[in-house]
Amino acid sequence: MIVTFWILMILYCLMTLVLLYGWEKGMPEKPYGDKNNKLLTVLIPVRNEAKNLEDLLHDLENQNYPANCFNVIVIDDNSEDETARIAEQYGLSSTYDLKVLPLQVPAGFRGSHKKLAISQGVKNTRSEFVVCTDGDCRLGRQWLSVIEDYYKRHQAHFISGPVVLEGSKKWWHNIQIMEFSSLIGAGAASLKLGMPNMCNGANMGFRRDTFVALGGYKGFEHIHSGDDEFLMYKIFSKHPEKVHFLKDARATVKTSVKNSLSAFIHQRKRWSGKWKFHRQISSRLLAFFIFIVNLALIVALFWLIAGKATPVDILPLLLLKFSVDFLFVNAVLKFFNKKVNLRDFLILELFYPFYAVFFLLFSNLGTYKWKGRKLNN
């Protein structure tokens, strides 16, 4: 059993080092220099975002991209607060074209409202390229210009952009920031290596004609989560050379950590539940491998407690894993101009095996809450 544990840990460390290589490989590029701006559409599917939406709309007002070269469509999913009114009121004085659409939900519809909202938004635009973000996000001034510049340079059909969590210096916030950054980094590195597995819908863009030609979300519209990566997979299967991660800090989208454990659990349960729907063998194998590695770490802990293994059998590999994980997370956080807090990183390393095994085992049981609704995976 000890030999198996050693093999798993060494394979895991090698995999993480490959991801580190993939992350470092995706370096920022110099501006393309083409000043002929493309017409862009920004889609914002929202539900109950009255507290956040105005800040996002203000960030779009402050873009250094010409206001006459982009329009914004807010698709309101039957919000129970003032979300729609705030968007409509803002549109009366915005310099860019802002449209608010109520989500049209067919009778008996049991699929993803967010996918339906994005699809409805696409039908209401003729822009060449569509960019999506969420109502609780914040944007830098160069967000649109950097995305448009990258799109023109690479003639991309799908662009995944960087997303980072923001919070206080509390340990609970720090471990969320580090864990989330590792997911963003792993998704970016995997895509750079030609094996896409993750991206984030808070910052993605795609060619409108490609979305329409491939039938949009047809085939997985029933899955509540995955409006981002399942679309990425679909486009990658047809245009593998035209799907990119935009590694440029100026294109970063910021969103907030979860303040409560309950909100965190519901979010991660929603995310974890989509793994069973992955059609790519590589993605399924990766999920299974991560599960086995973390299960092995838990078993090793019990071996130590029961006296069936000595510290010499286990601790060197744990130190190796800690070091490799640190290198990867530190590299991603450095891109976001953040630093690893060693104390909180140690907490994350100790906590993560239990967290990963729990969600991979139990994500499909019971319900979870999202935007005020109870849903099943």
Q: Does a structural domain hold residue 37?
A: yes
Classify strands 204-207 and 158-160 as parallel, antiparallel or unpaired. antiparallel
pLDDT band at 184 (very low <50, low <70, confident <90, very high): very high
> Which residues are CB-contacts of 134 (< 8 A; sequence separation ≥ 6)?
44, 45, 46, 201, 202, 255
Q: Rounded mean pLDDT of the chain?
A: 90
Q: Does a structural domain hold residue 216?
A: yes
Q: Which residues, in sequence order, are bridge partners of residue 244?
A: 159
pTM for the structure as a whole? 0.92
Give per-residue pLDDT as tens, 191-244.
Answer: 999 999 899 999 999 999 999 999 999 988 877 777 899 999 999 999 999 999
Q: Does a structural domain hold residue 302?
A: no
Q: Does a structural domain hold residue 238?
A: yes
Top-confidence residue, 173 or 267: 173
What total number of domains does the chain contain? 1
Helix (H) or strand (E) holding 207: strand 204-207
Residue of 229, 250, 212 whose CA lies nearest to 127: 212
Top-confidence residue, 377 or 100: 100
Q: Does a structural domain hold residue 318?
A: no
Q: What is the pLDDT of residue 174?
A: 95
Phi/psi at 166 (nearest 5 deg)?
A: -120, 140
Alpha-carbon distance of 160 to 187, in angstroms, equals 9
Q: Which CATH number characterizes residue 122's domain?
A: 3.90.550.10
Range of the domain at 78: 29-179+196-260
Alpha-carbon distance of 234 to 12, in angstroms, equals 28
Give per-residue pLDDT as tens, 107-164.
Answer: 878 888 999 999 999 999 999 999 999 999 999 999 999 999 999 999 999 999 999 9
Q: Does a structural domain hold residue 224?
A: yes
Q: Does a structural domain hold residue 336?
A: no
> Which residues are CB-contacts of 312 (< 8 A; sequence separation ≥ 6)?
none
Tokens of 333: 């956080």
pLDDT band at 311 (very low <50, low <70, confident <90, very high): confident
Could you give the percent of the chain with pLDDT greater than 70? 91
Top-confidence residue, 109 or 105: 105
Q: Does a structural domain hold residue 368?
A: no
